[in-house]
Amino acid sequence: MRAVILDLKGLETLDLTKLNDCVDELVSYSTTAASQVIERANGFDIVITNKTALTADTISTLEGTKLICVLATGTNVVDKQAARERDIPVCNCVAYGVDSVAQHVWSLILALHTNLLSYTRNISEGEWQKSDQFCFIHHPIVELKGRTLGIVGNGNLGKGVAAIANAFGMEVVICQKIGESKAAKSGELPFDQFVQEADVISLHCPLTDETENLFTLDVFKRMKPQAFLINTARGGIVNEADLAEALHKGLLAGAAVDVLTNEPPRSGNPLLDNTIPNLIVTPHIAWASEQARATIIEQTAENIQSFTQGKPIRTV
């Protein structure tokens, strides 16, 4: 079996021994342009991609492809219908980043409640140095105890984040699945009630037709003014211009996002305005601990081994 990785960038520092051991030949590229995909993937039994698209036209053109592996959970970069028509299984990686994402989410929650960035900025600007007393309390500091954490998307990631809330003495509420027409299950709240009760909302749902622009200015107006929004899911779930406006108007106490609608934001983004108060933006790194990335390689090796043994796993 011969395998090619189309875009190893971000994982290139990892040990690929397990991948090498389960194929006869492994060729890898840091990145692959759309115009290079067919040339680079043709003739390989296994095509491995992360964010490089495998379109229907590409899949129909490829020769010799027996398996497609995605170095992530999301498989929207692969035209799965085209793959099915050619009997090519598509395998992904799952739950590899639960601990990494949970850690990042809580880093953001804690930073917002402590107003960490504002205080750090004050020191760098020399404000504390000019204080007339030992401390410099110019921004609100809020305790987590007694507050309510709201989870949108109660899968592995949502559960991982929620599990930590108890250590801080928080209550946890779960949002009913977006688009669900049936009555909310026990322990779940309808969306309208959910956004009014949560003090901190953390997003862990996929980007779908139902969740696109789920959080708009109208929703922010219904949230508590002392609430925080955390988005480590997908940028399109939050209307970014509306979030910027809501923060400027004080409709929310703060927000933190690890994802934007277009990444990287080469054409700018409303949330990159450094005048927005109490906003933290990180560059899509919640998933990216060393351990999580190593798990991606391990799971991909498992996917290939299982396929060669005639028992494919993690197929989508």
Q: Which residues are catalytic?
A: 234, 263, 284
Written as six digits, the tokens of 261 are 């609608």
Distance CA 262, CA 283 (A): 11
CB 1 within 8 A of CB 304: yes
- Concatenating the DSSP letter of every residue in the chain gives -EEEES--TTTTTS--HHHHHTSSEEEE-S---GGGHHHHHTT-SEEEESSS-B-HHHHHH-SS--EEEESSS--TTB-HHHHHHTT--EE---STTHHHHHHHHHHHHHHHHHTHHHHHHHHHTTTGGG-SSS----S-----TT-EEEEES-SHHHHHHHHHHGGGT-EEEEEPPTT--SPPPTTEE-HHHHHHH-SEEEE-----TTTTT-B-HHHHHHS-TT-EEEE-S-GGGB-HHHHHHHHHHTSSSEEEES--SSSS-TT--GGG-TTSTTEEE--S-TT--HHHHHHHHHHHHHHHHHHHTT---SB-
